[in-house]
A and B are shown apart, each in its own frame.
Chain A
Amino acid sequence: MDDAKLLLQVDELTAGYTRAVVGPVSFLVCTGDVIGIRGPNGSGKSTLLNAIAGSAKIFSGRVSKRPGLRVSHQQQSALPLDNVPLSGQELLGLTGATSESLPLWIKPHVKRRLDRLSGGQLQFLQVWACLKAPVDLILLDEPTNNVDPPGVEHMAEELARMRESHATMVISHDQRFLERVCTRVIAL
């Protein structure tokens, strides 16, 4: 293993909220990795990403991040908009995501309010805001939910393009998507 590429080390981690729901689990994440996480409902896939992002409680073990590691986290739940008048373009601007390689089908919609987009359009922009943010590690939780096949295809292509310079962890029930984009898969 190339130490210079090591971004994250997870050792015997058990994590949850009021009680542990995942673990113990251990793995390393290096630049170039696209790690799939699969498992049945309730196996703690989202909790694992939340623990890495710092929003779930670590009961034992540890998560060691490279100093200065920049992380983006697309959560499975829809963006908590509640009538906030934010446009797609502004959402991308907030995370510092570039809109250059956005697919043509979404480009006409980026100036619209997020709460007036379809579920699939909103999901795609939410994923894009995390995917294209200037970060080292990208955490994606069910990124393909509600997204049409062209959008899923574009995500897969973008993940492949970004592999050299980033690491990604992806939760998905879409087995074909995981097989296509991941360099390895962790089963919970």
Chain B
Amino acid sequence: MILNFGVLIDPLFRLPFLTGLLFASVLPVLGMYLRLRQEWLAALAFAQVAAAGSLASSILGLPAQAGALACAGGAAAAKSWIARSGNNGYAVLMIVGWACAILMLANVPIAEQLGHALFDGQLYFTGVGHLIIALLFLGVTAALLPWLSRPLLLERVFPDFFQASGRSALRYHLLFDLLIAAGLALATASIGVWAAFGLVFVPSMVAYRIGQSWKASVWIGAGFSLGAYLVAFAAALLFDQPFGPVLVITLATIAAIIWLVLAVLRRRKASSITAES
């Protein structure tokens, strides 16, 4: 097989590259807070619903991102009702979102190309609109997250801290729900369902394991995600493979390598302690 390294600098792929890069930097950070609230399944549910919304809006001749945003936003707004049944509610939302999307794909030919992009994770169809929206989302997240971070963390470790002083943390949670729904909707419309979910789930999982503080973990998550994204983008282009699965495999492989290294280090440390004693 002859690899064509020229594709890596092909102007055709610059916009998709930059759009994906923005999502690869912001989604793992949001994933840290989703994991904090033990709601990672909600992320997958929002992504599946956003995919169904994208397809529905493209069938209706509307922008795909508008449908994704509307459906994921609706799911976020109904979250307090869905969350009453715990993860069951999210699981039902996820499979219903998936089923609706597949039925639209099977029955409406116009949805086929977008459907493949959403489920295969073909980043390369993104354009200027996607990049501008990704930039806007990054800006909104950068503005809101420092303000949301303290109450979200505080509620996790001292659940009645706000209530005890007669204050409510509801507005922080609602705003974060909307942020996460918007992030997953926009990312799903740009890089596909599973790539978006992978960027939310895997880097935060690794960061939780190895970070020595919250701040360090956020940086680790973002760094891990960006590194995996660069490798996956290049690999997908060089080997002419769909981007989404390549990204997911890259994330999982790097996570497995980190796990292995940690296990070896732990074993060495344990044996050196045994030898000393």
Residues of A at under 8 Å CB distance from B?
50, 52-55, 65, 69-73, 75, 79-87, 89-91, 94-95, 111-113, 129-130, 135, 139
B165 near A87 with CB under 8 A, answer no
Residues of B at under 8 Å CB distance from A?
36, 38, 150, 153-154, 156-161, 163-166, 207-209, 211-217
B215 CB contacts on chain A under 8 angstroms: 90
B157 near A81 with CB under 8 A, answer yes
Whole-angstrom CA separation of A114 from B157 in the bound complex:
11
Scoring B36, B150, B159, B161 by chain A CB atoms within 10 A of each residue's CB, the highest score goes to: B161
Take A85-B212, A85-B217, A86-B214 as given contacts and tell me if A73 and B158 are in contact as well, using a CB distance cutoff of 8 Å.
yes
Scoring B212, B213, B216, B217 by chain A CB atoms within 10 A of each residue's CB, the highest score goes to: B213
B159 near A80 with CB under 8 A, answer yes
B213 near A53 with CB under 8 A, answer no
A54 near B164 with CB under 8 A, answer yes
Would you give the shortest CB distance from B121 to chain A, in whole angstroms?
29
Q: Which residue of A lies closest to B150 (CB)?
A: A94
B217 CB contacts on chain A under 8 angstroms: 85
Take A84-B156, A86-B153 as given contacts and tell me if A135 and B213 are in contact as well, using a CB distance cutoff of 8 Å.
no
B165 near A86 with CB under 8 A, answer no
Whole-angstrom CA separation of A91 from B158 in the bound complex:
10
B153 CB contacts on chain A under 8 angstroms: 86, 90, 94
Q: Which residue of B lies closest to A65 (CB)?
A: B166
Apart from A73-B164, A82-B38, A85-B213, list 16 A-B contacts with CB within 8 A.
Answer: A50-B160, A55-B160, A65-B166, A80-B156, A83-B209, A84-B156, A84-B157, A85-B208, A85-B214, A86-B153, A86-B157, A94-B153, A94-B158, A111-B212, A113-B213, A135-B165
